[in-house]
Structure 1
Amino acid sequence: MCGRYNVIDDPFTQGLLDELGIAKRIHTRYNLAPTEQVPVIRQLDKQNELIDMRWWLIPHWAHVPDTRYSMFNAKAETLATSKAFSGPLKHQRCIIPASSFIEWRTEEGHKQPYAIQPVSGVFALAGLWEQWGHGAEAIHSCTIITTVAAPGMEQIHHRQPVMLPADLRARWLDPTIDGHHLMPLLMPSLPCALEVVPIDPVINNSHHKQAPTTLGPALFRLDAN
């Protein structure tokens, strides 16, 4: 599961944009939560672009925008058979840049948040995007794909967002490729070394938009696998 994350305007994030040919910057945003506008990279007309989208996918066939169903994450294992996600999987894939994402563990009777972040770099999270409506009424929305936790990650949560390595990002974005042929990219893996750091529980409030305060050294670190 991935229900909160941060994206920081730093050399790592800018390097991701440069790698994908995007001449823009991402403004730093902390504690991004479902239904908020988030920065997304997609490809249209053979050009990658950076666009804000609603983080909660709205299927194009929905009668109205709805939050009754949890559409901010999409399970990799069921993408191909999902009524909401199988269509976007084919040709509407995207990347969500993330400097860290947040998970929780229940410890001593309370939910303790942890920031999962690269030791060096930025996450390129695999996602899908969709358009609901047309013209001025159109809403662009996205979802983050999750998979079973890679070895070691289950210490913090049994699932994780799919993190794309640098050599597969362009392929994931290419809409000329049917996404059903890209399912092996969604297997559990860690393309970079990461650390899991305890942070102040004030982040539990989605309205808190300041940088997370660390509460000590990393709980653990994991090497790329």
Structure 2
Amino acid sequence: MCGRYALATTAQEMIEHFKLMREVKFQPSFNIAPGRKILNIVELDDGSLKPVNLHWGLVPSWAKDTKNSGHLINARAETVKEKPSFRSAFKHRRCLIPATGFYEWARRDGKQAYNFHRPDHGLFAFAGLWEQWQHETETLYSCTIITTAAAELMQPIHDRMPVIITPGYYRQWLNKAAGADEALELLDNQAYAEMTATPVSDWVNKPGNDGERCVEEVAVKVG
């Protein structure tokens, strides 16, 4: 599962990392929760990449309303190709969701929070899907983060984790000409070889709390 993450970087770093040719507008945060508009990188018809802000919680185009978006913040890699809520987006509307870390909680430690990040706290990208929902005059653009079974780093904490796309495969993941089978092959966990985990305080537990305090390392309580 991925239900909380951080994007603490600058617009210039975003442009350089994703090789963007246009301005990036986003609000840096150390504690991003579902239901907010979050930064996505999508591919346009001309092959260029565009940064856009989409609602986190996917609403399928065929949904009667937007009430259940909170149930679709994640899509399971094992079923994303066939599940009605995601299969069209997986085939035609893949995206990258930039991050500098994400949080997961280990219940064995009294629900101890951990921050998963690169050692340099640099940018990486989740595998995401986006969708357009429209009803009369109302239009909503939304997204979801794909998850998979936990890799070795994550297993002591949780049995699920978000899929991370390595930079060398950004273009292949976004490529609209690539079919679902080709995209499915990119949903592995190789990127986790370059990730680490640090325990953080319960300050991050509340979605309204933000700032560098969310990622400050703490000692894990014993007993």
TM-score, normalised to structure 2's length?
0.88
Give the distance between the partners of 1:178 and 1:22, measured in 2 at CA: 27
Residues 30, 215 of structure 2: 8 Å contact kept: no
CA distance in 2, matches of 1:26, 1:192: 28
Contact 1:57 1:72 in 2 (8 A): yes
Q: Which runs of 5+ in 1 are unaligned?
A: 219-225
What is the aligned residue count? 216
Distance 1:166 1:141, change over 3 A: same
Question: Closer, same or farther in 2 for the Cα pair 1:187/1:154, shift >3 Å?
Answer: same
Distance 1:217 1:35 in 2: 31
Asked if the contact 2:93/2:130 (under 8 Å) is kept, the reply is yes
> How far apart are 1:130 and its partner, in Å?
0.1
In structure 1, the residue matched to 2:17 is 16
Q: Which residue in the other structure is 2:98 paired with?
A: 97
Deviations 1:141-178 (A, max 9, x none): 00000111122321222111111111110111111222
Could you tell me the percent identity over the aligned residues? 32
Distance 2:219 2:166 in 1: 26
Q: Aligned AA for 2:218? A: G
Deviation at 1:112, TM superposition (A): 1.2
Instruction: State the AA in 2 paired with 1:214.
Output: E
1:17-56 deviation per Cα after TM superposition (whole angstroms, max 9, x unaligned): 3x24444254312211111110011112222111110000
Which of 214, 218, 223 aligns to 1:216? It is: 218
Gaps of 5+ in 2: none
The one-letter amino acid paired with 1:31 is N
**What is the CA deviation profile of residues 63-100 of structure 1, one whole-angstrom value per residue up to 9, with x for unaligned ones?**
00022762000000001110000000111000000000
RMSD: 2.2
Supply the distance in 2 between the matched residues of 1:115 and 1:57 (Cα, whole angstroms): 24
Q: Deviations over 1:83-132 (max 9, x none)?
A: 00000011100000000000001245x31111101113322110000000
| Match of residue 117 from structure 1 | 117
CA distance in 2, matches of 1:137, 1:177: 31
Matches within 5 A, 1:47-126: 47-67=48-68, 70-108=71-109, 110-120=110-120, 121-126=122-127
* Cα distance in 2 for residues equivalent to 1:158 and 1:184: 20
In the alignment, what sits opposite 2:41? 41
* Equivalence for 1:29: 29
- Letter of the 1:181 partner, please give it: E
Query: In structure 1, the residue corresponding to 2:81 is in which secondary structure?
Result: helix
